[in-house]
Amino acid sequence: MAIVALKPGHTLVAAEIHAHCQANLARFKCPRLIEFVEALPRNATGKIHKPTLRKQFSTEKPTDLAAAS
User: In the chain, where are the structural domains located?
Assistant: 2-68
Position 65 pLDDT exceeds 70? no
Instruction: Return the CATH number of the domain spanning residue range 2-68.
Output: 3.30.300.30
pLDDT digits (tens, 9 = 90+) for 2-46: 999 999 999 999 999 999 999 999 999 999 999 999 999 999 999
> With bands split at pLDDT 50, 70 and 90, how would you rate the model's confidence at 58?
confident
This model's pTM is above 0.75: no
Which one, of 38, 39, 41, 34, lies nearest residue 19 by Cα? Answer: 34
- Evaluate whether 55 touches 23 at the Cβ level (below 8 Å): no
Higher pLDDT, 65 or 11: 11
